Structure 1
């Protein structure tokens, strides 16, 4: 095998040229003068050319034609090596974890929780996407996100963790409505609350109509508060402007839904597993306190 360039030899060679002699070069590279001489001889033996001409009377040196050529390459090799070492010593770039969160959940309790995670884990970059559970499941299947919090029927498939959600019927506290068909303020098609509400009313043999549809929780809450329609919401989404409906009002108790932390088909990275553990540990208390 052909010998490769020894960076220490190149560094000594450049020092001898830059500082005009073996003595001053030895001081700069913290070697003895005899060691510097030996390294230059070794480098010349490796490349098969004399690289430096030394004036014995003055101690100065000058490069040969081959030495001048190698000097240019030496500077580039040493600069590249220094750059590589600097890059390797820097903290590694943050690893990205992609998380999907429910549209009606993102603006309430989760933001502070995710902010605290980012502050405590600067080595992980969190990319969060909000959407309806149906959309988030599609993104998981496509490998476009790593984890998702979705609203679903209890026990509907595998999950990393799950939390029960209490659902309640609500109407306006100031503008109650008693209409036939039942006026509903709901989320778009695919939302479990919308589906549950429609099925429950149909199971009672009653008619319904969609009076208001909103992509966001605040829109549905406002529609209910203003008397546009009734809705089926998580208990922690009930506002002071709302009144809970009971069986006496003709709206029976609904079974709870489920908030589940799920993963896609791809294997989770160490960073995604760390986020999953964080959410599993912290989300229950966040839901319980409504913070």
Structure 2
């Protein structure tokens, strides 16, 4: 491996055409810079400077090395600059359901990142049951989940109204087609339990882990689904009232830390959730 200090001495001599000027530029004695060039020549095994010439001239090997030496020194400078920049060196891991990662929430994330360039936000969306398990296992620093009731260590909790929805102007026959999330999805079991109480025959017509896909399937008339009411705004769906009302879910926020960067971000996420769902 070629020592960058030796390469810098060699390049400076080539640029200035003088051992004396190069030594002054690098703030070293002429004997020191001569020794560094000699060490570089020893490492390469060939002379780099023609010492028989009256002025400084590079040998053929020296000319071949010069361009590579400049690139090596440039890469070293880039690496030093990169490592001196702390941007993205601290990771905060966040888990949340797909519909919580709204434009408002991600804009808040963007503003937070601008204030804290050292922070890299790693956001994972998924089903609340899985997110809760992973948070308890230490995989997330902050998590937002939907659940029947919040655990005692929650930072904040907000009610989320849910209801049955169907496509407009479609009458459902027997059996009733359902649009659901995959097994383990929060609304899936609630749907099955409720429709069994209604003594209706049913089948699963469409399954997706994406809320957007579930909404599109309901809108297209593939079946009924139990959904957060706030997510249906702007969709061509109607509330299906034959099954009556359904108890609200709870949107809960959890954080392992109350202070520091994680605590600050959790507090801002709490404000974003409060603006959306209202305080309780």
Please state if 1:204 is matched with 2:194: no
Cα distance in 2, alignment partners of residues 107 and 62 from structure 1 = 65
Match of 2:108 in 1: 113
Give 1:87-98 correspondences, 5 Å limit: 90=84, 92-94=86-88, 95-98=90-93
Contact 2:255 2:266 in 1 (8 A): no
How many residues align? The count is: 220
Contact 2:87 2:117 in 1 (8 A): no
Question: SS of the counterpart of 2:247?
Answer: coil
Cα distance in 2, alignment partners of residues 141 and 219 from structure 1 = 28
> In terms of Rg, which structure is larger?
1
Question: SS of the counterpart of 1:205?
Answer: coil
Question: SS of the counterpart of 2:133?
Answer: helix
Cα distance in 2, alignment partners of residues 121 and 62 from structure 1 = 47
Contact 2:159 2:250 in 1 (8 A): yes
Match of 1:13 in 2: none
Cα distance in 1, alignment partners of residues 160 and 183 from structure 2 = 20
CA 63–210 in structure 1, closer or farther in 2 if over 3 Å, else same: closer
Please state if 1:257 is matched with 2:249: yes
Match of 1:281 among 241, 257, 271: 271
Cα distance in 1, alignment partners of residues 180 and 152 from structure 2 = 25
Cα distance in 2, alignment partners of residues 151 and 118 from structure 1 = 26
Match of 1:158 in 2: 153
Cα distance in 1, alignment partners of residues 182 and 152 from structure 2 = 23
CA 220–176 in structure 1, closer or farther in 2 if over 3 Å, else same: farther
Match of 2:144 among 142, 149, 155: 149
CA 194–269 in structure 1, closer or farther in 2 if over 3 Å, else same: same
How far did residue 157 of structure 1 move? 4.5
Query: Is there any run of 5+ residues in structure 2 with no aligned partner, and where?
Result: 1-18, 40-76
Query: Is there any run of 5+ residues in structure 1 with no aligned partner, and where?
Result: 1-17, 30-60, 73-82
TM-score, normalization by structure 2: 0.65
Match of 1:222 in 2: 216
TM-score, normalization by structure 1: 0.62
Please state if 1:139 is matched with 2:134: yes
Cα RMSD (Å):
3.8
Question: SS of the counterpart of 1:169?
Answer: strand
CA 224–141 in structure 1, closer or farther in 2 if over 3 Å, else same: same
User: Residue deviations 1:222-256, cap 9 Å, x none?
Assistant: 1111211111111111144101122xxx2111111
